[in-house]
Amino acid sequence: MSGIASKLQHNREKSQGIGANSKAVKYLNQDFESLRNSCLERGQLFQDDCFEPLPSSLGFKDLGPNSHKVQGIQWKRPRELCSKPQFIIENASRTDICQGALGDCWLLAAIASLTLSKQVLSRVVPHDQSFEKNYAGIFHFEFWQFGEWVDVVVDDRLPTKDGELLFVHSEKNSEFWSALLEKAYAKVNGCYEALSGGSTIEGFEDFTGGIAERHELGKAGPRLFKTIKKALDRGSLLGCSIDITNASDSEAVTYRKLVKGHAYSVTGAELVEYRGNRVQLIRIRNPWGQVEWNGAWSDKSSEWRYVSDSDRDRLIKRCEDGEFWMSFSDFLRQYSRLEICNLTPDALKDDQFQKWAESEFEETWRRGVSAGGCRNFPNTFWMNPQFVIKLEEADDDSDDGEDGCTFIVGLMQKNRRRLKKMGQDMQTVGFAIYDLPKEYYGQKQVHLKRNFFVRHASAARSETFINLREVCNRFCLPPGEYLIIPSTFEPNKNGDFYVRVFSEKPASFQEIDDPVDCHVEQINIDEDDISDRFKKLFGQLAGADVEISAFELQRILNRVVGKREDIKTSGFSLTTCRNMINLLDLCEKVNKHYIP
């Protein structure tokens, strides 16, 4: 019951725009403006009782209460560390992010990428805060979490050792936005230690709400240049890097003047005529320094003499400082990895960009019910949740001879970092895609069984099953209806997940079980329908106003169902009772005519 009530309440709020970046959910019901105003009125600095300066906020193992690493740690406000702290000095930049005593370099790389886009940065780091005007020791940040944006409040007490910040810090000792952002992200994930180990893509997604894909350039397919060009047309954020093999490689410069371990941005992709052939070019931006590519197609290379004046002027003059061109073939040879973060339509304010169509669902794997494992377990695979995507319209660019529909599927595990404290790590997850038989087209209440999957091979699948938060892949399939089946690798593994599809053309996406409808009609009950026993029970709890709160509703329902021998239940939780009342649009109370 609690799951249904919660889902109904969540769907209703989402239909009202709650959870968008402009109407972020107040994390733990903490309202930044209200809390700050209250502190200013009382002349006190904010103290966050939801994330206190205690050992439990630091960690559970390496940073646990008994670890030698936490000895001597003191939580201090910036004004205790320097005479004139500032939130952001001039503009946010890469030098604002230096790693401390925590293995969260993946997060630092994502924060560094944030500084490349003022628009994206402003969605995560609101401007309405400083250590001067209206300072009250309280700050807030917004993160995307499994389909909705949350506004996270923190106080500015930061963990220090020997008078210096313990974790993320700026090169400028008086700047604190990056340290406070890390604290807010640690709060969302349960503690600082929960941030150890991860993928930059995870940070990309939580800072943008986009869906991110990774391409190993040593295994690049024939469509990658086209994928890059289309991603740029859609306003996606693209980053590339060169792997380091050991610590001494970090910041090492190659003979072609590229820096290992640095995050570069991909900002352009063009085709030019060169000596009778068409050459694919990639434009790269190095925002961190003056070192710049010196190979073919670099700023002063001889290749530019053999292209038309119009192409040369168009491409070279459009370059900004720190940008350079290189051939796509050199790009594949020199760089190791490309990451593309495809943004949601609401993140793109500029009409020049084409926009993805987005669909999403939340579901669960439950042991013995819906946790069937991968195809290696045919007797249970069919038990997994099943989703249908309907691709009706092929891509516009069918000039390459392929008549297909491009879409991206992302399968994300929910809240796994928070479970680290309890010894639970990421599950190994993936998904398979099947052609849906035409006799099932348009049907919602069909859950395909074992025999279908034994007899049919998948049309596509995730490249791998992996124990990361998300597995994400891009596909191009002919128009039609397809079945998407997300699963853990092994059966009987419990977990919550979030699956979404980005498609170039609008596509319908639905679960093929009965959907939960968030439209709840008012239930009217005649006086004669209410038993005398129920009236007496209600009257005892309701009092003269004949209304009950969520606490009282919980007592009534649990007393009623507790006497039912045909119902096996642990009872109604307080959260469920609150959701039931909220669904009736009442002011935290309900009267007897609304209870069946």
Q: Answer yes or no: are the C-beta atoms of 282 and 276 closer than 8 Å.
A: no
Q: Are 386 and 512 in contact (CB under 8 A)?
A: yes
Of the listed 21, 189, 286, 342, which one is catalytic?
286
Which amino acid, 257? K
286 is catalytic: yes
Q: How many residues does the structure list for the chain?
A: 596
Q: Say how far apart CA 434 and CA 449 lie, in whole Å.
A: 13
Evaluate the CA torsion angle 187, 191, 194, 200 in order and state its sign. positive
Question: Which pair of structure tokens corresponds to residue 276?
Answer: 């009778």
Half-sphere exposure of 460 (CA within 13 A, CB side): 17
What element of type H or E holds 138? strand 138-145
Q: What's the CA gap between 101 and 110, in Å, rounded?
A: 18
Residue 127 is a catalytic residue: no
Query: Which CA distances in Å does 262 have to 110, 216, 250?
Result: 12, 16, 8
Please state, in angstroms and rounded to a whole number, the distance separating the CA atoms of residues 484 and 22: 31
Catalytic residue among 50, 82, 98, 105: 105
Give catalytic status of residue 579 as yes or no: no
* CA atoms lying within 13 Å on the CB side of residue 76: 18
Is residue 502 within 8 A of residue 342, CB to CB? The reply is yes
- How many C-beta neighbours within 10 Å does residue 255 have? 7
Catalytic choice (191, 262, 374, 405): 262
**Angle ∠(581,584,587) on CA atoms, nearest 5:** 60
Residue by residue, DSSP assigns 507-559 as EEEEESSPPPP---PPPP--GGGS-HHHHHHHHHHHTTTTEEEHHHHHHHHHH
Q: How far is 29 from 174, CA to CA, in rounded Å?
A: 31
Token representation of residue 280: 């694919």
**Separation CA 201–CA 211 (nearest Å):** 9
148-155 and 25-26: which strand pairing? parallel
Quick one: DSSP state of residue 437? Answer: P
What residues are labeled active site?
105, 262, 286
